[in-house]
Structure 1
């Protein structure tokens, strides 16, 4: 799922204009005042939903943050447009000089913004992918009718390897654009040539990933569990050994590129 933030006066208007330009399912998320986040339901209920017979629904609750919401949306939507989240770690369009953490484009007003170029901007950035995104993609594969197993691997940022280590605050990943994706695709294709392996999906995040967050996913759709488990292990081993992705570690004491040590 590709994500773009929009901040400044008219951000919701630009979200609506841009959504009409995007080819795929689009979700919009609007920043609300704190008072608007209370669930309109009976005491003691953390979330409340309304559902109509034709599939329309509304919901309210008090147990979501933005990262968690994007994780939930990523399995079902192609795009998420965020209105009014200046501190979000996503590429952001600033209207009328509004401040934001990661500005990739600017416009004076929502009506004057070039939505065609912004649509291209959305697709140019790294997508928001979770394990659930890849599992749902595997389940939707035409070959899933032959599958009796889905095996997964998730790599995450480890704070310490031993008690005496300085805690790791975050890792930063860089890759050779195009080369890393091509290599992962080639590895997946080779693994899919094995008997009983139907689909192999991989994703490695780039940029800053904080302590406790997920880094990399491998999902294998297979006829049986044995080939699924073997292939998911081989997949992550080959990804780490063969794909040109470089890691910088930030601890409480220092910063360093891991390949320099």
Structure 2
């Protein structure tokens, strides 16, 4: 699922909503769209970020063909995106200043609390949007995947009728190896552009060629991943549990060995690229 943030750079609520409506209408021509709205005024002044749990509600509406809305006290934007990722092609996030996904800014007011992800456009209103360029750049960015979205994808496999097992692995950022270690604040991952994606696809194909294995999904985040957040997922659809378990274990081992990803670790005391560490 591709995620696009829309935030107010000073144009005001009416202009922001007209942009959101236009963006959702155009994206819905290409697939199902989820909309996540966050109102910072209900968060007791807390700076809203994707990894934060808000004091108020995050509400989300499902696409132009959806007829319901849901809200959850204490739900994070990440939680809402995970929920939408199972059956939406796009998500539009409104009102979050700090987002690792691409965003557009409505208005040009100076704001030091800028979005963490790339700004695709700064505009005054919907007439300024260049949709072909916007969609191309949005779809070139890293998508939002969750364990739920990958499991949902393999369940939709044409081979699902022959499947008796789904096995998964989730890797996450570990704060410490032992009590005496300096706490890891976050990891930062970079990939060897082009090569990493090719190796990942080749690895999936090789694992799917095994007897009894029907579908394999591998996903590894890039960029900054905070303490406690998920980094990597392996999902295997198989005829029986034995081949599912074996393939999950081999999948994560080979991903770490064969896919060129570079990791920087930032602790409370130091930062270093792991491949440079003696």
- Listed as ranges, the matches of 1:142-153 within 5 Å are 142-153=158-169
SS in 2 for 1:89: coil
Q: Which moved more, 1:78-87 or 1:26-35?
A: 26-35
Encode CA deviations 1:182-221: one digit per residue, 9 max, x unaligned. Answer: 1011011111111100011000000000000000000000
- Partners of 2:271 and 2:16 lie apart in 1 by 37
- 2:185 is aligned to 169
- Partners of 2:213 and 2:231 lie apart in 1 by 24
Match of 2:137 among 115, 121, 130: 121
Aligned residues: 248
- 2:115 is aligned to 101
Contact 1:21-1:116 at 8 Å conserved across structures: no
- Per-residue deviation, 1:236: 0.4
- 1:111 is aligned to 127
- Residue 83 (1) aligns with residue 113 (2): no
- Residue 15 (1) aligns with residue 20 (2): yes
- Residue 200 (1) aligns with residue 216 (2): yes
Match of 1:25 among 21, 27, 32: 32
- 2:47 is aligned to none
- Partners of 1:119 and 1:141 lie apart in 2 by 27
How high is the TM-score relative to the length of structure 1?
Answer: 0.89
Contact 1:191-1:197 at 8 Å conserved across structures: yes
- Partners of 2:17 and 2:219 lie apart in 1 by 31
Which residues of structure 2 form unaligned runs of 5+? Answer: 44-56, 60-64
Contact 2:36-2:58 at 8 Å conserved across structures: no
- Listed as ranges, the matches of 1:41-56 within 5 Å are 56=67
- Per-residue deviation, 1:255: 0.7
Encode CA deviations 1:119-171: one digit per residue, 9 max, x unaligned. Answer: 22211210010111100001011100000000000000000111211110000
Contact 2:18-2:125 at 8 Å conserved across structures: no
Taking a change above 3 Å as real, the CA distance of residues 55 and 27 of structure 1, as seen in their structure-2 partners, is closer
- Listed as ranges, the matches of 1:191-230 within 5 Å are 191-230=207-246
- Residue 61 (1) aligns with residue 38 (2): no
How high is the TM-score relative to the length of structure 2?
Answer: 0.83
SS in 2 for 1:231: helix
RMSD of aligned alpha carbons: 2.2
- Partners of 1:218 and 1:170 lie apart in 2 by 21
- Partners of 2:142 and 2:227 lie apart in 1 by 20
Which residues of structure 1 form unaligned runs of 5+? Answer: 37-45, 49-53
SS in 2 for 1:127: coil
